Amino acid sequence: MDLRQIRYFVAVANARSFTKASAQLHIAQPPLSRQIQMLEQELGVQLISRESRPLQLTEAGRVFYEQGLQVLHRVEQMKAATIQVGLGQRQRLSIGFVASTLYEGLPILVRKIRQHYPETEFQFLELTSIQQIAALKSGRIDIGIGRIRRNDRQVSRIVLREERLVLAVSPTSLLAADSGPVALDVVRDQALIVYPKEPRPSFADHVLTALFDHGIEPREIHEVAELQTALGLVAAEVGVCLIPAAAKLRSDLVYRLIDDEKVTSPIILSHRAHDSSWYIDACKRFIQEIYAEQPPWLSFDQAKKPDKSEA
């Protein structure tokens, strides 16, 4: 098997036709068909069902297609990175993040990387925790900062800390009469706003699972796309919302710490398994420095040093 065969197969899979793929690849159809047949013979499985029109991938073909896309993308990244280093050009670091982490440690982390690696260019993609896993595997991002635990053998994760949750309420709510910690059970009689509604599982499921574990069922549940929308509905007196402590974005709301140290949301650094690139150790080191500096947004948190990787 070689890269040419992988490229040929991906082209056929995308076009669903040997004729169209051969035209796109600028080769004759017979040699293209032979290369795919040789690939199938080497693997010992059929990748394409040729009886249907347009062509359909077998189950094995779908797996090979997904993996082939990742291989080709990584090869292109490898070529680009090698050329950049060879020509003395700037390196690019692609970071996927969930919105709530943008209001706490991520900006400080980026500043530290810029300070120590000034030649680095950054690319930022706002992605849910689940989307980050796929983006890491495809090579679209280099590291991800999310909140949902997800087991995947191709991705390593490090729980940086467990962040306390707070209840966001409207100033007109009876719950706003006090600013002290509040029991999670008060959500039982409330309309609860959760986010994001998709893709799932998401932070919404993390919150709902925490309530379920405590035997708490809100009066009603509203699902919205993003954090800002959820807080906007809280301000509109539609309901209450459980959010990470550092994500207190609106000054016109009241935020009450949940009086249970076990009701938290993890901050998780994810990267490709076995990736030993410079930015992995750099990020771990800088995050430890950030926590040691005790920034104000850590005031509600349970600090946890990033000292253990989870495959």
Domain of 274, CATH number, reads 3.40.190.10
pLDDT band for position 198 (cuts 50, 70, 90): confident
Among 49, 82, 115, the domain boundary falls at: 82
pLDDT band for position 301 (cuts 50, 70, 90): very low
Asked whether residue 2 carries a pLDDT value surpassing 50, the answer given is yes
Q: Give CA–CA dist 306/285, Å, rounded.
A: 9
pLDDT band for position 52 (cuts 50, 70, 90): confident
Residues 171 and 260 in one domain: yes
Asked whether residue 120 carries a pLDDT value surpassing 80, the answer given is yes
For 252-276, the pLDDT digits (tens) are: 999 999 999 999 999 999 999 988 8
pLDDT band for position 150 (cuts 50, 70, 90): confident
Q: What is the pLDDT of residue 242?
A: 97
- Torsion, Cα 284 288 293 298, to 10 degrees, reads 90
Q: What is the value of pTM for the model shown?
A: 0.66
Which residue range(s) make up the domain with 50? 3-82
Q: What is the DSSP letter of 182?
A: B
**CA angle, corner 271, sides to 266 and 275, nearest 5?**
145
Q: What is the DSSP letter of 292?
A: H
Structural domains of the chain, count: 3
CATH number at residue 30: 1.10.10.10
Residues 270 and 153 in one domain: yes
Residues 218 and 124 in one domain: no
Q: Best-predicted range by mean pLDDT among 118-127, 150-159, 228-237?
A: 228-237
Residues 193 and 246 in one domain: yes
Helices (H) and strands (E) in the chain, counts: 9, 12
Asked whether residue 302 carries a pLDDT value surpassing 50, the answer given is no
Taking alpha carbons only, the member of 53, 36, 54 closest to residue 45 is 36
